[in-house]
Structure 1
Amino acid sequence: MSKALEFSPKDHVVYPTHGVGQISSIEEQEISGMKLKLYVIEFAHEKMTLRVPIGQVKNVGMRKLSTPKKMKTAIETLKGRARVKRTMWSRRAQEYEAKINSGDPISIAEVVRDLHRNSGQPDQSYSERQIYEAAFDRLVREFAAVEEIDTTQAGERLQKILEVE
């Protein structure tokens, strides 16, 4: 296990099911009699700390922040027309959750685009609103980290893009 570490303390990373976090340290712990090197990731938004064994990084899908180019593609996705399938809500909700938990900003942008409602449109159901807010929040946090701005500014910028339609 002497390969170079992929991440270092202070790096921002994306953990698919939790979004953007920051590596606070790398520590060694003994778990079940085995010594493991772990990334300690802080998710300030959720007030949560996660320890990921260095050898499991690929398996769990942890990755570096998106490149500005990939984030631009995600923003372009937001500007597109909503594509809502005519399947039952429960099936679509599962698909939306899977896209959010994939951690891919383009997939998350698709969920935001498809569930966004402008002022003249009918209201969302409670579960639609929950999924929309989860996707929007996840996209805002990665956009803010990539652009190096705070989440309030990032949210306002994304909201403006969505309102343009």
Structure 2
Amino acid sequence: MVTKKTTQRLGFKTGEYVVYPAHGVGQIVSIEEQEVAGMTLELFVISFEQDKLTLRVPVAKIKSVGMRKLAEDDHVQKALDTVTGRARVKRTMWSRRAQEYEAKINSGDLISISEVVRDLYRADDQPEQSYSERQLFEQAMDRMSREIAAVNRITLTEAVQLIEKSLAKSPRRGAKTEADSEADDAEEAAA
């Protein structure tokens, strides 16, 4: 039973886009009070249109679930710069790396998500990805492009093209040059 609606709480307001780590970018549709088991709870009602999902998050749980405002322009630029860097793929088992990538994606942190996009990106002239690699890449790409689209007020397609343009600037992962091997060896020795 809805008793009362407000338009702003804890710096978040209705109509605003936010990032909910487990689902990505959503829009606050309303802030309402509901009575649940005799207690009155104030809830953010967040709509994730592409997933056809509506989430009700208690106002008191916002910090613990990690909900945040969209990234600032300079943070978006830093994420785009991150994808242009050299992939940093650890030499651990895939299942372990997959868990780490999944954790980064679900952290909701744009820079962490862009690291996953960078590390799992494969150009057309590179070897095929496994199914699970492709799934994680697409999930990270989706999260990153949705936030960039919302921040820059562009379409999802334009956001994907912007990320792909940055990825195209990244160093090739094909055959390593001698300098690459020496740099990798120096990195490993420092670690």
Q: Same fold (TM over 0.5)?
A: yes
Is residue 30 of structure 2 the alignment partner of residue 25 of structure 1? yes
Is residue 154 of structure 2 the alignment partner of residue 154 of structure 1? no
| Structure 1 segment 105-124 matched on structure 2, within 5 A | 105-124=110-129
Q: CA deviation at 1:4?
A: 5.0
Amino acid at match of 1:43: F
Q: CA deviation at 1:6?
A: 2.1
Amino acid at match of 1:26: I
3-state SS, counterpart of residue 74 of structure 1:
helix
Q: Deviations over 1:103-154 (max 9, x none)?
A: 0000000000000001111000000000000000000000001111111111
CA RMSD of aligned residues (A): 1.1
Amino acid at match of 2:15: K
User: Aligned pair in 2 of structure 1 residues 69, 38: CA closer, same or farther (>3 Å)?
Assistant: same
1:42 to 26, 39, 47: 47
Amino acid at match of 2:26: G
Is residue 125 of structure 2 the alignment partner of residue 88 of structure 1? no
3-state SS, counterpart of residue 19 of structure 2:
strand
Amino acid at match of 1:164: K
Flag structure 1 segments of 5+ consecutive residues without an equivalent.
Answer: none
Is residue 74 of structure 2 the alignment partner of residue 69 of structure 1? yes
Amino acid at match of 1:100: I
Higher RCO (CA-CA < 8 Å; seq separation 6+): 1
Q: Deviations over 1:29-79 (max 9, x none)?
A: 011211011000000010000000111100100000011111111111001
Flag structure 2 segments of 5+ consecutive residues without an equivalent.
Answer: 1-7, 171-191
Q: Which structure has the larger Rg over C-alpha atoms?
A: 2
- Aligned counterparts of 1:14 and 1:88: Cα–Cα separation in 2: 31
Per the alignment, residue 129 of structure 1 pairs with 134
TM-score w.r.t. structure 2 length? 0.83
- Aligned counterparts of 2:125 and 2:62: Cα–Cα separation in 1: 44
User: Aligned pair in 2 of structure 1 residues 4, 164: CA closer, same or farther (>3 Å)?
Assistant: closer
Query: What is the count of residue pairs matched by the alignment?
Result: 163
Per the alignment, residue 60 of structure 2 pairs with 55
User: Aligned pair in 2 of structure 1 residues 127, 4: CA closer, same or farther (>3 Å)?
Assistant: closer
Amino acid at match of 2:20: Y
1:79 to 81, 84, 88: 84
